[in-house]
């Protein structure tokens, strides 16, 4: 029940989750919480996922225990749902998979702090830290999902990186941790046609 409570709390109060829900609805893919979001017990190495065959976001209730973690999972996985709905993504196509992983990492994951923990940033390596974080996060996601080696995953990510990294829809900006970015993005939703 705690997982469902956290999901409900995010849907009601998280500007980022509310923006994603509005973007999906405006794209003809309205989210029904009882159908499209599922709390499940998962392998401890993951905290969530998106199942394109069921068109369902999975929140790993045994790993994702706080509302803050739930918000991160929902925002990330709702990007995949948006890409599947809006762009008719084929998750069996490794380039499509890499693209949606790049977009999700870019829009919802890679802050300077997470880039530091991942080894992609330091006080001496700031300039490309965000892009390096996105590439690393996307490559590791592709490796986990497709069970390919790191060199192959990084090559696929590099092939589609520029186009996918520069696609900021539906959020319209990269979200910086501990900033007002998600609130600003939510306020700007009307400019993109999301109610």
Catalytically active residues are 77
Name the CA dihedral angle for 62, 66, 67, 73, rounded to a multiple of 10 degrees: -50
Q: What does the alpha-carbon distance between residue 21 and residue 11 come to, in Å, rounded to a whole number?
A: 8
What phi and psi values does residue 48 have, to the nearest 5 degrees?
A: 180, 180
Helix (H) or strand (E) holding 37, with range, is strand 37-40
Q: What does the alpha-carbon distance between residue 143 and residue 141 come to, in Å, rounded to a whole number?
A: 5
What phi and psi values does residue 125 have, to the nearest 5 degrees?
A: -135, 80
């Amino acid at each position: 029940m705690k997982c469902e409570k956290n999901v409900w709390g995010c849907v009601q109060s998280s500007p980022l989750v509310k923006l994603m829900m509005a973007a999906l609805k405006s794209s003809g893919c309205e989210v029904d919480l009882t159908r499209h979001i599922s709390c499940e017990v998962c392998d401890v190495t993951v905290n969530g996922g998106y199942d394109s065959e069921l068109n369902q976001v999975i929140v790993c209730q045994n790993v994702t225990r706080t509302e803050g973690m739930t918000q991160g999972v929902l925002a990330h996985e709702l990007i995949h749902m948006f890409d599947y709905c809006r762009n008719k993504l084929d998750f069996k196509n490794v380039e499509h998979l890499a693209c949606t992983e790049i977009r999700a990492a870019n829009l919802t994951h890679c802050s300077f702090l997470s880039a530091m923990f991942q080894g992609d940033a330091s006080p001496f390596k700031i300039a490309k830290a965000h892009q390096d974080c996105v590439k690393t996060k996307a490559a590791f996601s592709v490796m986990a999902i497709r069970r390919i080696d790191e060199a192959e995953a990084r090559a696929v990510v590099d092939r589609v990186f520029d186009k996918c990294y520069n696609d900021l829809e539906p959020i319209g900006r990269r979200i910086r941790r501990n900033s007002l970015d998600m609130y600003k993005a939510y306020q700007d939703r009307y400019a993109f046609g999301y109610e």
